[in-house]
Amino acid sequence: MLARAIFWSGLASLGFACSGGGGVSPEEAASEVTDAVCDWIGQCGQWEIHCSGDPETCAAALVEVSHAECVAERELDFSGVECGDLTGDEEALVDECVAELTARDCITPAQVDAYLEALANGEQPEEPGQVPPAACVELEEVLVECLDQPLADASASG
């Protein structure tokens, strides 16, 4: 049986640039974005899609997710990386991303039903809620480098 959760989970790959000067650490910014995502999930719930059988049939259920559980699933690990503070422009992207996340409408049963119908028709539709807000996409594009960087000491020892 396949179980999928419908909500924007792109945060899991969000990293922060190794730039400096803004005064807000990547960890603080990541925590702020994670809180916004988890506040939205806490308010709206999380749709889980379960598919099984041959031919495959799918059903949906709206489940509650605690803020703590949500944060634990999305926490970013900054161990092993060195990141400077965000620049002013990067901080502005964090603010815009959070504002867009908190303004999002909840995924409706009608959206989930349309998704399930498309699956039943053999289509591969985009899951409702999987498109992150534009500022979050831009933030991710700008800030992915830090989590891909090893510690300076680790790279010097090899």
- Cα distance between residue 82 and residue 141, in whole Å: 19
DSSP 49-60: EEEETTTTEEEE
Nearest to 27 by CA among 77, 63, 67, 66: 77
- Predicted local confidence at residue 103, as pLDDT: 92
Q: Is the pLDDT of residue 157 over 50?
A: no
Q: What is the pLDDT of residues 23-45, one digit of tens each?
A: 777 778 888 888 999 999 999 99
Q: Say how far apart CA 129 and CA 6 lie, in whole Å.
A: 6
| Integer Cα distance of 16 and 26 in angstroms | 6
Give the number of other Cβ atoms within 10 Å of residue 50's Cβ: 13
pLDDT digits (tens, 9 = 90+) for 123-137: 999 989 888 888 888
Q: Of 53-57, 104-108, 141-145, which has the strongest mean pLDDT? A: 104-108
